[in-house]
Amino acid sequence: MTVKEQLKKIIVEELNLEEISPEEIEDDAPLFGEGLGLDSLDAVEIVVLLEKHFGVEIKSLDEGREAFRSINTLAAYIEERMPR
Amino acid sequence: MKLAIRGVGAVGGFGCGLEALNAALSSGDHKTKHVVVKTAQGPCEMPAYLADTSRLEYFLNKRALRRVDHYSRMALLGAYLALEDAGRLDEDRSRMGIIIASGYGPGRATLVFLDTFIHDGDGLSSPTSFSNSVQNAAAANISILLNITGPGLTVGQLEMSVPSALIAASLWLEEGKVDSVLFGAVDEYHDELGYFWHRFFGEKATADHEMKPFEFDLQTGIPGEGAAFFLLTRADEGVSPYGCIEDVIINRCDRSPLEIPKDALLFIGADGHKQCGKYYKEHLPENVQLACYTPIYGSLPMGPAFDMAIAALSFKQGMIFPSQACTGDERALDVNRITCLKISGSGEAGLISLIKGN
């Protein structure tokens, strides 16, 4: 399973997005606001999930803001920093 | 101060809503399910009264419910049903308060949060788990989703939670702090509770038995879960078919006699716990008309709220539902006062008296 596929599955399952399946999440759609409709509490939850599942920490707000734009940006952030 | 009951909502092992409660009371059906408890000796089955909250999706979409756990869902459903029953779902709620009573609180969420804390460390604990684990979680979820902007409170005092919280509701209305109180009680069953139940009561918990609340010397309790909610206002706002809460008293039955009104029909909350049964056996007055409905909803600290709902329904229907103490069919209600009595395992007694009309 690719990082993007894992991310989608984790987001749907851990954030209880019952009305959408992982396959329905578009790679470049915004995660917050108009796109997937996530909110600030989800952002905190995703920070925890990234560390738990990928061993990747988001250390600063600026880094997080950029990474949290879409599945594409989040996957790229993880792949750059994931322990080998 | 008298409190008028304007609407009632209930969900529990008997089903969802007043119709389901009414049907269970009339038929006497005990709808237990079997749960599996993990024990040192292997998995063990035991009966439990479980609540189904699927009706909540009639009021809210899945997205709105995604962070709301089972404990809060039961409370939320009870709240919606009570407001719907009162015909006040679309009302402004800026002058409404919310008070919730719970004996156990959000036990499942608390233990889930502790598990993440223990296994992954404090830095990786889920914030959603944390927010569902706090004692006020159900009241907070209801306030947010129903836009109740008055004060909110959760009272936890085991079996005395319901009368204790009712005293707070009465004070809020008397002081004019709010115009109405959405008052509710909720307790949930979860795996760990089942484990504790099995540890404490052993074979009595696993046997395929029925609750026998009047067998005071026997342990026959079956764990239950659910929520019962009431929309309360001051009584001077007009007559309610559900009647009024006239008086709430908490005392110790081993220190002073129970203050049971002589003309009352007494609903006792004996729920098959031997530890509590001894107090009922010793302190119940003679020549009092008794009924007990715990076999309809199970053993749980918030049981008095179910008894309140049954009392309110009895006034509205003008009938006494059959119970193990009132043998025979349904019959016309011949009293104007019903007192709900709950005695705890340490001898505390909570009495909630309801009267017909206002």
What confidence tens digit (pLDDT) does each residue in B230-250 have? 999 999 988 899 999 999 999
pLDDT reported for residue B255: 87
pLDDT reported for residue B29: 81
**Cα B103 from chain centroid?**
9
Question: Is B189 buried (19+), middle (13-18) or exposed (0-12) by CB count in 10 A?
Answer: buried
- pLDDT of residue B163 exceeding 70: yes
Superfamily (CATH) of domain B3-355: Thiolase/Chalcone synthase (3.40.47.10)
Measured N-to-C along each axis, helices B107-120 and B191-201 cross at an angle, to the nearest 10 degrees, of: 100
What mean pLDDT do residues B124-137 have?
91
Helices (H), chain B: 18-27, 62-65, 70-86, 107-120, 127-133, 137-146, 161-175, 191-201, 203-206, 274-283, 294-297, 303-317
- CA-nearest of B146, B157, B19 to B72 is B146
pLDDT reported for residue A74: 95
Q: Alpha carbon of B242 to those of B4, B6, B7, B8, B192: distances in Å?
A: 8, 7, 8, 8, 37
**Cα B173 from chain centroid?**
21
pLDDT reported for residue B37: 92
The nearest CA of chain B is from the CA of A25 a distance in Å of 15
What mean pLDDT do residues B266-271 have?
96
What mean pLDDT do residues B209-227 have?
92
Please state, in angstroms and rounded to a whole number, the distance separating the CA atoms of residues B191 and B33. 14
Q: What tokens were used for B177?
A: 């702090």
Candidates B56, B57, B67, B115: best to mutate against A (most CBs of A within 10 A) is B67
Please state, in angstroms and rounded to a whole number, the distance separating the CA atoms of residues B230 and B83. 8
- pLDDT of residue B185 exceeding 80: yes
Residue type, A55: G
What mean pLDDT do residues B193-200 have?
92
Please state, in angstroms and rounded to a whole number, the distance separating the CA atoms of residues A56 and A78. 6
- pLDDT of residue B197 exceeding 70: yes
Q: What tokens were used for B248?
A: 């709430």
What is the residue whose two structure tokens read 């505390």? Answer: B348
Tell me the residues of B at the A interface, defined by beta carbons under 8 Å apart: 61-63, 66-67, 120, 123-128, 131
Chain A nearest-CA residue for B124? A48
Q: In whole numbers, what is the pLDDT of chain B averaged over residues? A: 93
Name the DSSP class of B314. Answer: H
- CA-nearest of B79, B7, B26 to B293 is B26
pLDDT reported for residue B293: 96
What mean pLDDT do residues B253-257 have?
86
Please state, in angstroms and rounded to a whole number, the distance separating the CA atoms of residues B206 and B208. 6
- pLDDT of residue B218 exceeding 60: yes
Domain boundaries, chain A: 3-81
Please state, in angstroms and rounded to a whole number, the distance separating the CA atoms of residues B91 and B6. 13
Taking the alpha carbons at both ends of chain A, their separation in whole angstroms is 16
What is the residue whose two structure tokens read 């939320």? Answer: B76
The answer to whether the CB atoms of B124 and A52 lie below 8 A apart is yes
pLDDT reported for residue B178: 98
- Chain A residues close to B118, C-beta within 8 Å: none
Please indicate whether residue B83 or residue A41 has the higher confidence score (pLDDT): B83
What mean pLDDT do residues B198-205 have?
79
**What Rg, from alpha-carbon coordinates, does chain B have?**
19
pLDDT reported for residue B195: 93
The nearest CA of chain B is from the CA of A6 a distance in Å of 19
Complete DSSP assignment for B142-194: HHHHHT--S-EEEE--GGGHHHHHHHHHHHHHHHTS-SEEEEEEEE---HHHH
- pLDDT single digits (tens) B285-336: 888 889 999 999 999 999 999 999 999 999 999 999 998 765 556 678 888 9
Please indicate whether residue B209 or residue A3 has the higher confidence score (pLDDT): A3
- pLDDT single digits (tens) B44-56: 999 999 999 999 9
- pLDDT of residue B256 exceeding 80: yes
Question: What interface predicted TM-score (ipTM) does this complex get?
Answer: 0.84
- Chain A residues close to B131, C-beta within 8 Å: 41
Please state, in angstroms and rounded to a whole number, the distance separating the CA atoms of residues B302 and B165. 11
Percent of chain B with pLDDT over 90: 78
Question: How many residues belong to chain A?
Answer: 84
- pLDDT single digits (tens) A62-80: 888 889 999 999 999 999 9
Query: Nearest Cβ partner of A48 from B66, B67, B126?
Result: B126
- pLDDT of residue B206 exceeding 80: no
- pLDDT of residue B91 exceeding 80: yes
Q: In whole numbers, what is the pLDDT of chain A averaged over residues? A: 91
Please indicate whether residue A41 or residue B146 has the higher confidence score (pLDDT): B146
The answer to whether the CB atoms of B120 and A52 lie below 8 A apart is yes
CB B291 within 8 A of CB B265: yes
What mean pLDDT do residues B4-32 have?
95
Give Cβ neighbours of residue B313 (< 8 Å, ≥ 6 apart): B8, B18, B21, B22, B25, B242, B321
Candidates A48, A51, A59: best to mutate against B (most CBs of B within 10 A) is A48
3 state SS of A75: helix
Chain B nearest-CA residue for A13? B66
CB B64 within 8 A of CB B77: no
- Chain B residues close to A44, C-beta within 8 Å: 127
The answer to whether the CB atoms of A48 and B125 lie below 8 A apart is yes
What mean pLDDT do residues B52-73 have?
95
Say which CATH class A3-81 falls into.
mainly alpha
Please state, in angstroms and rounded to a whole number, the distance separating the CA atoms of residues B345 and B159. 9
pLDDT reported for residue B124: 85
Please state, in angstroms and rounded to a whole number, the distance separating the CA atoms of residues A49 and A35. 20
Furthest CA-CA distance within chain B: 61
